[in-house]
Chains A and B, each alone.
Chain A
């Protein structure tokens, strides 16, 4: 059973009197454990796919199933629950909570889930922070860390709740190439270690090359879907 099923998904944005078709009958499936990248020029529909897969948006037409659940049939609260339990997000601009320390940022999704003892929660958050190589930075606030370190915290935050899927929107765009490569390697390692599915949107050649599968978009349509490994 695929983790993600896109069937003839179209998305039209209404901006004033003009309709803008962002996706046009897009179909693809993603199996659990994949490490894939969606690439294409600006306005090709990458972010729209990420938003729909991330249960933040709904298709105008077609169907999207996540873990065999038809997303169109879920209420806003149910979608929030899916995001809370099954989807981790990594953003281009890191988006850590500035008033929380690195450790507290990683712990926060577990607090939101609310199904864990404090001891277990702390152990998991500590472990995840160590996994991303930031055990010694636990009490640092985001403003006291470099961009690469912040993105590592963001990856730890996305993975700590053991989601089925991590969505990363241009995760290396705000990093220098060396740090970007390290972040990418970290995500690949975590993908292999935990079996978590990673889905990126990017137009960074390095990210495209590192992905096991690359979907290329053009004008809201898939122009190529290529398995590389």
Chain B
């Protein structure tokens, strides 16, 4: 086996320019594959992180029927006195923090313009244990329990041309019922401006202390949802914890429903899955180009070395040994091309992991379109893993071997007499 390996290795450098072009095609194709996978993984990771840290946390508990109508933010499907469940929930192993919130439709009026947004009433002492809004304040400070002040996202602040310390009118929609639409208005001061990194939150949400919201909405002790944060180590067991949490809150014969972030973000996850399927088609095309390159190189090699194949047969080389010799050559092309592809793709992905890939210069329309799909703002970061590099390396080598099989078989089946006469 060893002499054939040595011969195969030397043979690949026989036609240097052609080999170089094949290496280039293979390595560029594979490096693009690595960059695409890393970038998609990074976008997915950041999107999920933003969904959990800015929107849903891990598990939400709703009153019966709320989940189906959740996009309407109904205030008549609420959980009464939610804090009575906190101690039981916190006693469940894996539960890190609990909070109740009210979600309501709202409008911000700055005198000249009015913009719709989602109002989120939070328990100011508990919310920082579940969400990262407090730590993403750029201007001003976090809201206190008794404040009649709000926090606002950077994009919303920019649209309204306001900042921390300014006052505006907040209209709280108390009923979305078409026949009984009602609202309440209150002047509030902007206590802080945050940038969470989630475009949906930065552009469309305001945060208000629970007491102020309850007063404005006329809800003495209710909440739209109880939100549960899990320890990182328990995230993988979210389904079983979800069932346990639902059971815990329903001990007093109520029928609250618990939903995981995966259910709440099912739209995003479906898009992500579809994107993976589409990407597979693109990978397929990329790989096809590399495969055609390898098949072409190997076929040309076999043609050019016809007489040599005849000579090797005359010397006593068997069909399977000639097949192996050419498969080794294809395998080496794959190994070296894949290795170069991994280095190139790894370096580029590493750069994108550190510096990110900005779409801010592509225009606001494109950025808004992207934000509608991925809850990530402006800059996409890659997530490079050794597993991806290893998978692409093995895949590239296997594909090269597969692509060499047909030319190698052709070489092995050559009639030695004709081969020796070949000019």
Measured between C-beta atoms, what is the minimum distance from B119 to chain A in Å?
A: 75
Given A89-B311, A93-B307: A108 and B417 within 8 A (CB)? no
Determine if B3 is an interface residue (Cβ-Cβ < 8 Å). Answer: yes
Of the residues A76, A84, A93, A99, contact of B315 by C-beta under 8 Å? A84
Task: Give Cα distance in the complex from A77 to B318, angstroms.
Answer: 6
Residues of chain A lying within 8 A (CB to CB) of residue B10: 99-100
Measured between C-beta atoms, what is the minimum distance from B328 to chain A in Å?
A: 13
Residues of chain A lying within 8 A (CB to CB) of residue B144: none
CB nearest neighbor in B for A82? B316
Given A91-B420, A99-B11: A112 and B317 within 8 A (CB)? yes
Of the residues A77, A81, A87, A91, contact of B311 by C-beta under 8 Å? A91
Determine if B371 is an interface residue (Cβ-Cβ < 8 Å). Answer: no
Residues of chain B lying within 8 A (CB to CB) of residue A57: 417
Residues of chain B lying within 8 A (CB to CB) of residue A91: 311, 420
Given A80-B313, A80-B316, A85-B316: A56 and B416 within 8 A (CB)? yes
The reply to whether A56 and B314 form a contact with Cβ atoms under 8 Å apart is yes
The reply to whether A89 and B417 form a contact with Cβ atoms under 8 Å apart is no
Given A77-B318, A81-B316: A95 and B308 within 8 A (CB)? yes
The 3 closest A-B pairs by CB, nearest first: A84-B316, A111-B3, A99-B10
Residues of chain B lying within 8 A (CB to CB) of residue A81: 316
The reply to whether A80 and B318 form a contact with Cβ atoms under 8 Å apart is yes
Residues of chain A lying within 8 A (CB to CB) of residue B11: 99
Q: Mark A170-197, 1 if CB is under 8 A from B, else 0.
A: 0000000000000000000000000000
Residues of chain A lying within 8 A (CB to CB) of residue B313: 56, 80
Q: Mark A37-63, 1 if CB is under 8 A from B, else 0.
A: 000000000000001001011000000
Task: Give Cα distance in the complex from A82 to B311, angstroms.
Answer: 15
Residues of chain B lying within 8 A (CB to CB) of residue A135: none
CB nearest neighbor in B for A112? B316
Q: Mark A59-102, 1 if CB is under 8 A from B, else 0.
A: 00000000000000000110011111101010101010111100
Determine if B138 is an interface residue (Cβ-Cβ < 8 Å). Answer: no
Residues of chain A lying within 8 A (CB to CB) of residue B416: 56
Residues of chain A lying within 8 A (CB to CB) of residue B236: none
The reply to whether A98 and B14 form a contact with Cβ atoms under 8 Å apart is yes
Determine if A109 is an interface residue (Cβ-Cβ < 8 Å). Answer: yes
The reply to whether A89 and B314 form a contact with Cβ atoms under 8 Å apart is yes
CB nearest neighbor in B for A13? B417
Task: Give Cα distance in the complex from A174 to B311, angstroms.
Answer: 17
Residues of chain B lying within 8 A (CB to CB) of residue A112: 3, 315-317
Task: Give Cα distance in the complex from A14 to B10, angstroms.
Answer: 38
